[in-house]
Amino acid sequence: MTDINIDDFFKDAAKTLVQLYKTFPRRHGVFVDEIYGTEELDEYGMHSERYLACFGTLIWLGEEGFLRYADTIRYDAIDQAVLTARCFTQLCAPATSLEPMDVTDLPTSVRIEKSTNIHGLENAVKERSSARVRSAMLDLMKAMESGSSR
């Protein structure tokens, strides 16, 4: 059994990277509401621990070289975010562990696209499978770690 905070981290990170991939190379504001969801502030005007954990994931992705951003907007967003070249390259690279699929009937360009890290990440997020999201994110993190130095 895994810790729920780690599953939430992987899910938030995956959604963020997919969102930034879809807008690449444009800079984009990434709002916690878009990743985690909307919530009301408590009676003291504070966000929940889960909301703040999602914001922390956005910051961590920047600190670890997955993305760059210009500034934060309170605890609600990172502004002007864009994938780093290294992260973009790893997302476009062939995945090391994708579930087997029958792609023999597909054109070469489609087969190549369906074998990338970003495709695996998008599918895992769409399927809402914590295990697949975790696996896809760990593969990406390992690739980023073993890739070129920052």
Strand partners, 81: 28
Q: Is the pLDDT of residue 80 over 50?
A: yes
Facing residues of 82 across strands?
Answer: 68
Q: Is the pLDDT confidence value at 59 over 70? A: yes
Among residues 111, 76, 116, which one has the least CA distance to residue 98? Answer: 116
- Average pLDDT (4-30) is 96
The rounded distance, in Å, linking the Cα atoms of 70 and 88 is: 18
What's residue 108's pLDDT? 60
Token couple for 2: 């895994």
Q: Look at residue 101 in the predicted model and tell me its pLDDT.
A: 52
Query: pTM of the predicted model, to two decimals?
Result: 0.86
pLDDT score for 149: 42
Residue 11 has pLDDT above 80, yes or no: yes
